[in-house]
Amino acid sequence: MTEQTFGPYGQSDRGHQRDGPQRVDGYGQPRYPDPADKGSGFDRQPARLPQAHAPESGQRQPGQGQPSRAYPASATAVTSGYPQPTDAGIQGKRRNPFAAGFGLPLITLGIYSIIWIYKTNKELSEYDRRIVVDPTLSVLAVTLGVLLIVPPLVAVWRLCARTRQAQQSAGLAPLRTGVAFMIFLLGFGPLNLQLEINRIWDRYPSAVEGQQVPLPG
């Protein structure tokens, strides 16, 4: 004899699922989902979103703009990381080489030599802006730097190198830095360098001090 279960009101519970929650209404009657009610049944499945299909190559979707165009990598010139040449500079002052080398330093007890170092470095940097120098540091190197011996020598070497660079910017045959440095050590440095610097200013015979001039080199 088989065991038969009954509901709260005596109804047979045969054929119904015994395990898991019973689907009954408020009166204990079995409740079955209405096939027409797809949105409220117990077995409601989550709605599936329509899958977007990838457009074919070259096909433009509605509401979208024109497709982007690929440009060759060579269309953009890369110039960062390199010094950009300038095409103009400032004309410096022509000086008498013998006055700058001997006369004025003797009259001023050497003070003019300091002034000459300052003005020469400043004019060279204004002529070619690729020449980076602080004239005040150059003056400190040849004055207070004498106590350390090395700074004046470094300042003189760099002044010769800056003169060479400015001559190249002017389209002239540049001096030799080592030769100019040795002449400076022999006591004829300002005389020789002023002659070389005047060659730069002579490149512009009609220009005056402070005038903007082109850089042929």
Percent of the chain whose pLDDT exceeds 70: 60
pLDDT (tens digit per residue) in 25-39? 666 666 655 555 554
DSSP 159: H
- Higher-pLDDT residue of 80, 67: 67
State how far the Cα of 166 lies from the Cα of 162, in Å rounded to an integer.
6
Q: Is the pLDDT of residue 196 over 70?
A: yes
Residue ranges covered by each domain of the chain: 88-200
- Name the burial class of residue 73, with classes exposed (0-12), middle (13-18) and buried (19+) by CB atoms within 10 angstroms of its CB: exposed
> Alpha-carbon Rg of the chain, whole angstroms?
46
**Reported confidence tier of residue 49, pLDDT bands at 50, 70, 90:** low
- Asked if 130 and 85 touch (Cβ cutoff 8 Å), the reply is yes
> Facing residues of 213 across strands?
89
DSSP codes joined into one string, 95-154: --HHIIIIIHHHHTTTHHHHHHHHHHHHHHHHH-TT----HHHHHHHHTGGGGGSHHHHH
Q: Is the pLDDT of residue 100 over 90?
A: yes
How many C-beta atoms surround the C-beta of residue 174 within 10 A?
A: 18
At residue 87, the pLDDT reads 82
At residue 83, the pLDDT reads 44
